[in-house]
Every structure is written in C-alpha cells, then in structure tokens.
Amino acid sequence: MAVGEAGARKRSPGRRKKGAKASTADLLLDATSSLMVERNSADVTFADIAEHSGLNAALIRYHFGSKAGLFMALLERDAGGTFGNLEALVSADMPADQKLRHHVFGVIKTYWRYPYMNRLVAALSLESDSEAARFIAERFTLTLADAQRRILEQGEREGLFRPIDPMMFYFSVIGSCDHLFNARHSLKFAFGVEDIDDDLRCRYSEHVAGILLESVMV
C-alpha cells in the first residue's frame, strides 16, 4: 500500500526554498496537492494522502486536526503565499491600469499553478462548521477584493477609470480568471484542448486583462 519515504521524497517540493528539508507537514501538503492535480478534484481521503505520501494517516490529524484544517493550510500555502506580491503591487508607484493588468496575470498564474484551488474552496465552504467558510472569506476574498478596490480607486483618482462597483467587479474578475481552469472538461471535449500550456495561459491572461481594461478605462 504505502509507497514509502523514498517515494514521498521524489515529489515536487512545492514552494519550499531550494535545499530546505521538507517537514512532515510539507510532505503531507505536497501529497494532497499532487493528488488533487491528478484527480482534478478535492475529493481526497486521509487514506489516499497516507498512501500517496508514505506517511501514517494519524500524522495528518496530528498536524492539521481535520480535513478542513489540512485544506486551509494548503490554501494558505498556495494562495496565501502570493499575497505579499499583491500588497507590493497595490502600493507600488505605477499607474492603475498597469496594476490591474499585473493583477489579472497574477490571479491566473495562481489558478494555473494550483488548478484545484476552486474545488478546494468549494469543498471548504461546504464544511458543516462555518469557520472554514469564514476563513476563506476573510483571508482570501477580502484580501483580493480590498486590493482590487484600491486599484479601482487609484484609477478613478488618476482619471483613468470610470466608477465601478468593487463587489460586482470582484465576482466578474475572479469568475473570468477561474473558469478556464475550473472547466477543463469543457476545454477538452468542446475545444479539443488537453492541457493549459504557458502559451494558452498568457493568451487567456491578455484576453481577460484586455476585456477589463477596455471596460473600466474612461
């Protein structure tokens, strides 16, 4: 059953620094991440993760408490890790239209790297306790929505953008960025595209950023 410690070490080290030794918690997150990519689903059990990582399932409970805890830690690692860049972008000395363009490229790159992100968010938001849903909303939605609001306000001050409702804007931007990755079956069966390569990622980013800039600019 278990693939053994050696098998676990072969897997991608995710966002760890080169040469840093992976902790048990990191190995469990890596195994969860690669299983979700493989299955295109957040439907993974502790037993699956144990088998894939070669680690005992009890360690998952020890490190993360519950499946919700594990999922929150994964979301924090994957998306939370990009929020430093987002804050730097929003406070940079740069016109608002360029910021909006970079923001769209950044969001799409995150979905491209972690295509299970939305399944993860959906799975968390269905947890019976609402703590997980609140965590997502406060840590992720509000962080993104607040960054967008500040870019939109800057654009208005600079006379570049027309007034836009930031809540409406949030749902239309994130929905556009996400759907290519969320609906891979459509991409495959309706358009014959098996994989989202770097070229498609860039062209889609240009398309979404183009639509948004055309529409918000005065």
Residues that bind a copy of itself (CB under 8 A): 39-41, 43, 119, 121-122, 125-126, 130, 133-134, 136-138, 141-142, 145, 165, 167-169, 171-172, 174-180, 182-191, 193, 203-204, 207-208, 210-212, 214-216
Q: Which is nearer to a copy of itself, 21 or 189 (CB)?
A: 189
Q: Which is nearer to a copy of itself, 158 or 165 (CB)?
A: 165
Q: How many CB atoms lie within 10 A of CB 78?
A: 19
Q: CB of 133: closest distance to a copy of itself in angstroms?
A: 4
Q: Which is nearer to a copy of itself, 25 or 187 (CB)?
A: 187
Are the beta carbons of 53 and 12 closer than 8 angstroms?
A: no
Cα distance between residue 207 and residue 216, in whole Å: 14
Q: CB of 49: closest distance to a copy of itself in angstroms?
A: 18
Q: CB of 173: closest distance to a copy of itself in angstroms?
A: 8
CB burial class (10 A; 0-12, 13-18, 19+) of residue 88? Answer: exposed
Q: Which is nearer to a copy of itself, 157 or 203 (CB)?
A: 203
Query: CA nearest 23: which of 37, 38, 8?
Result: 8
Q: Give the CA distances from residue 85 to residues 70, 88, 154, 168, in Å, rounded to whole numbers and listed in that order.
A: 24, 5, 18, 24
Q: CB of 10: closest distance to a copy of itself in angstroms?
A: 27
Tokens in use for 199?
């070229």
Cα distance between residue 95 and residue 57, in whole Å: 50
Q: CB of 141: closest distance to a copy of itself in angstroms?
A: 4
Collect all residues with Cβ–Cβ distance below 8 Å to 133 and sequence separation of at least 6. Answer: 124, 125, 127
Q: Which is nearer to a copy of itself, 5 or 138 (CB)?
A: 138
